[in-house]
Amino acid sequence: MKKIFNKKIISLFLLVFLSTFAFGQELVKLTDEASIDKVIKAMTLEEKAKFVTGMGMNASKRVPGTAGNTYEIKRLGIPEIVVSDGPAGLRIGGITGGKETYATAFPIPAALASTWDLDLINKVGVAMGKESKAFGVDILLGPAFNIKRDPLNGRNFEYFTEDPYLNGRLALAITNGIQSQGVGVSLKHYAVNNQETNRMNINEIVSERALREIYLSAFEYVVKNGNPWTIMSAYPSVNGEFASQNKYLLTDILRNEWGFNGFVMSDWFAVKDVSKALNAGNDLIMPGGAKWGTSGETADDVLEALKNGKIKEEDIDKNIKSILKIVLKSLSFKGNVPSNSPNLKENVEIVRQSAAEGMVLLKNEDKTMPFDTSKKVALFGKNAFDYVTGGGGSSQVNAAYRVQLLEGLTNTGYKVISENNGVKFAEGIKDSDLEIAVKNSDIAVISIGRNSTEGNDNFTMETTKEETDLIKKVSEAYHKMGKKVVVLLNIGAPIETEDWKDYADSILITWQPGQEAGNAVADVISGKVNPSGKLTETFPVRYKDVPSYGNFPGTKTTVYYGEGIYVGYRYYDTKDLKVQYPFGFGMSYTTFKYSNLKVDKNSLDVTKNDKIKVTVDITNTGKIKGKETVQLYITQNISSIDRPEKELKGFGKVELAPNETKTVTMYIEKRDLSYYDVNVKDWVAEAGKYTIKVGASSRDIKLTTEIKAIGNTDKYLVTENSSWSKLQENKNISKIVAKYIGYNAVVEAVWFGDKTFGKFLTEQYEKNTELKGNVEKQSKLTKEIIDEINKMYN
Ligand code: BGC
């Protein structure tokens, strides 16, 4: 009996023991947000260390040829997450070590941006998302949208613009497109990744105001409006700490201020100190796996840091939690079975359309373009035979084909001559060959091209002597015969046109248009597509005009962002400097009229969630259908601190048949009037007057109107009792006072501390022999000064 009892007890005990064990082993699985804490608790320290470091370069067996992947923990139901580049289409297949799979090579982001067409860009995003899904990629490493601070940055082709407002809207449009397919984005590179020279070590010294207004603002916009799954921290150091280890950027601003809810991964091999990165809020260290240049695994460093207390377990748990929240959303977690056969055909039309719509017509004398296929074309320039369809580095795409220029022109029906006796018409062309070309063609098309890639900056904005000579020589020969010359710019960033632009009859920036390059260029040349692209970056006359000149790319260790907030047109327009082609500029084969600029009310209460509706009518005054991008800029008439002459705060694109008129509607809100006040650590919209400028480019303002900001008036309602020390913080007030009572008085006033404005004036009159004793003038002057100041702001 005793024996039986004992046996029973033992088996019961075993059962309980085994089921508890099984419970721990099997029942803890990642299922939903509520399961995350339990899953983390069930992870071993080794697993934690591996989970926050990727698995190494191209390590995914499930989706070969991708940039990276995360650690799979089967027993906890955590799948591997696959991440892949990039901004111009999915980087997968042959070029990245995978098998020969193809994806669509879209136009470079600089080209997409020039469309100013948020719906079209969204469509591109959807197409990229679909391809990622088809190949089993969970997160697409893009969009890339660092500010184009300097035209020589080697990655400008991958980025959108020099303007933060436009940048945010473009980045959101593509983010929404990609994420609509259940694929996450990785907004990159956060932040201030504006040069390639010494990118992994350079320390960038940027003022807080420039950081907020220029470099962070688009990231802020997408984080607040687009729910991006991930963000990629950048290589360089920002104000003394590497972006991937920068708590101020990654936690204080990104999460605490903006409410970011995804996870941060580092750029590839960016992290120098794993504990600093993880503690700062960089949740995933990429690519992980074997360390660069030394032996050992990245995960070992994390494990060691966990053991020696440099990373606390509760802190790494936060990193893991951020990643797991996104894992839950991923296609891999949801059991997506990749088809491995995306509908590439469907995307061809999107590539061709977005490529053509992004092209920017800079010059078109005597309607040189479009011309029909009855005209025989001669093709010149070595670039014409090796058209650049996209940029290098992580923007490479293994496309199934790339339509060259010659092929595109021929496909469209043009007869093209491009060589004589097997010698192509390129730089250094012989006179005899040129003669043959002129004789056998009606028009010359010359192509100038540039390629670039991450890892290198460009060296110059100039065209080479050979290129300039070719343009001059060909133009002279063609013009002599009354024939025209078109120059195509197959570029990713501005180049100088000053030395040769007068020779060309027509200049078209085609950018690097993706795999349908030749066809898309032919669409614009032939007029099938009326160009509507506009520049999202200024083309300066010479490189030496750029605001960062002298401060780019810095020394071996440091680069000073000495131009502050004056980047791009903010600089050129404030300085009133001649530029080659201004921000927002781009011609059409038709013409447009701007009329009827209206605001639905004149004042905006900045203490409320207030908006002003701005409308303007656009009419197509030409003979063919066309599209126009309308731009809205704002100028604060008088401000207490330096502000750019104008800033873009709205835009809209409309398609119009001949004689058709459409109304473009844009909205202005508090943020559009604000600057970042480093003292109050917030965006401030000062009370007072602002001018709304609506136009076709930053230098072609067609209509203006004035509005007022109200609700924040305390600072500038000046009375005799206002404290002088407060008022003289404002240089404009000081300027007005100086106008009446003299410059010296204002300078001296610095020492007057908290005297009231009235007392300060009285004292100054005492010193001023001309005014002394003239009581009538004194009191009038006080009133005049006060009235003038108040008029400025109110
Ligand atoms: C680039 C990133 C890219 C990553 C993975 C890095 O060199 O800076 O933009 O996503 O590589 O390929």
The total of other beta-carbon atoms located within 10 Å of residue 555's CB is 10
Whether 225 has a pLDDT exceeding 60, the answer reads: yes
Q: Kindly give the number of the ligand 1 atom that is closest to the alpha carbon of 158.
A: 9
| Nearest-angstrom CA–CA distance, 137 and 135 | 6
Distance 635 CA to ligand 1 centre (A): 38
Write down the pLDDT at residue 23.
46
Tokens, residue 450: 């540039």
How does pLDDT run across 463-503, given as a tens digit for each residue?
999 999 999 999 999 999 999 999 999 999 999 999 999 99
279 CB-side CA count, 13 A: 12
Q: Kindly give the number of the ligand 1 atom that is closest to the alpha carbon of 68.
A: 5
- Whether the CB of 267 sits within 6 Å of ligand 1: yes
Residue nearest to atom 9 of ligand 1 (CA): 394
Q: Kindly give the number of the ligand 1 atom that is closest to the alpha carbon of 141.
A: 10
Residue nearest to atom 6 of ligand 1 (CA): 268
First to last CA, the chain: 100
- Whether the CB of 36 sits within 6 Å of ligand 1: no
Q: How confident is the model at residue 368 (pLDDT cuts 50, 70, 90)?
A: very high
- Whether the CB of 454 sits within 6 Å of ligand 1: yes
How does pLDDT run across 531-567, given as a tens digit for each residue?
999 999 999 999 999 999 999 999 999 999 999 999 9
Distance 144 CA to ligand 1 centre (A): 10
Contacts of 601 (CB under 8 A, 6+ apart): 612
Above pLDDT 70, what percent of the chain? Answer: 95
Q: How far is CA 536 from the centre of its chain?
A: 10
Pocket test for ligand 1, best of 128, 188, 394, 453 (most atoms within 8 A of CB): 394
Residue keyed to tokens 């990231």 = 219
Write down the pLDDT at residue 239.
98
- Whether the CB of 158 sits within 6 Å of ligand 1: no
Asked if 66 contacts 361 with a C-beta cutoff of 8 angstroms, the reply is: no
Q: What is the mean pLDDT of residues 298-308?
A: 97
Residue nearest to atom 7 of ligand 1 (CA): 268
Write down the pLDDT at residue 715.
54
Write down the pLDDT at residue 26.
53
Residue nearest to atom 11 of ligand 1 (CA): 268
How does pLDDT run across 13-36, given as a tens digit for each residue?
444 444 444 444 558 999 999 999
Q: How confident is the model at residue 790 (pLDDT cuts 50, 70, 90)?
A: confident
Distance 55 CA to ligand 1 centre (A): 15
Q: What is the mean pLDDT of residues 293-316?
A: 95
Write down the pLDDT at residue 467.
98
- Whether the CB of 427 sits within 6 Å of ligand 1: no
How does pLDDT run across 115-137, given as a tens digit for each residue?
999 999 999 999 999 999 999 99
- Whether the CB of 150 sits within 6 Å of ligand 1: no
Helices (H), 537-607: 569-575
Q: What is the mean pLDDT of residues 455-462?
A: 96
- Whether the CB of 85 sits within 6 Å of ligand 1: yes
Pocket test for ligand 1, best of 156, 267, 271 (most atoms within 8 A of CB): 267
Residue 606, Ramachandran bin (φ over 0: left; ψ between -120 and 50: alpha; else beta): alpha
Nearest to 66 by CA among 400, 396, 336, 452: 396
- Whether the CB of 554 sits within 6 Å of ligand 1: no
Write down the pLDDT at residue 292.
81
Residue nearest to atom 3 of ligand 1 (CA): 394
- Whether the CB of 67 sits within 6 Å of ligand 1: yes
Residues with active-site annotation = 267
Residue keyed to tokens 């300027």 = 735
Q: Kindly give the number of the ligand 1 atom that is closest to the alpha carbon of 142.
A: 10
**What H or E segment, with its residue span, contains residue 509?**
strand 506-509
Distance 310 CA to ligand 1 centre (A): 28
Distance 394 CA to ligand 1 centre (A): 5
Asked if 290 contacts 296 with a C-beta cutoff of 8 angstroms, the reply is: yes
Cα dihedral 552, 555, 557, 559 in deg (nearest 10): -30
Q: What is the mean pLDDT of residues 130-153?
A: 98
Residue 447, Ramachandran bin (φ over 0: left; ψ between -120 and 50: alpha; else beta): beta
Helices (H), 551-704: 569-575, 670-673
- For residues 527 and 294, the model is more confident at 527
Distance 147 CA to ligand 1 centre (A): 17
- Whether the CB of 196 sits within 6 Å of ligand 1: no
- For residues 397 and 94, the model is more confident at 397
Burial (CB count within 10 angstroms: exposed 0-12, middle 13-18, buried 19+), residue 140: buried
CA 460-461-464 angle, to 5 degrees, is: 80
- Whether the CB of 199 sits within 6 Å of ligand 1: no
Q: How confident is the model at residue 188 (pLDDT cuts 50, 70, 90)?
A: very high
Pocket test for ligand 1, best of 83, 85, 198, 453 (most atoms within 8 A of CB): 85
Amino acid at 743: Y
Q: How confident is the model at residue 406 (pLDDT cuts 50, 70, 90)?
A: very high
Residue nearest to atom 8 of ligand 1 (CA): 267
Distance 50 CA to ligand 1 centre (A): 21
Distance 370 CA to ligand 1 centre (A): 40
| Nearest-angstrom CA–CA distance, 685 and 668 | 12
Write down the pLDDT at residue 7.
56
- Whether the CB of 140 sits within 6 Å of ligand 1: no
| Nearest-angstrom CA–CA distance, 429 and 695 | 43
Averaged confidence pLDDT in the chain: 93
- Whether the CB of 141 sits within 6 Å of ligand 1: yes
- pTM here is 0.92
Asked if 176 contacts 229 with a C-beta cutoff of 8 angstroms, the reply is: no
Residue keyed to tokens 């009538």 = 776
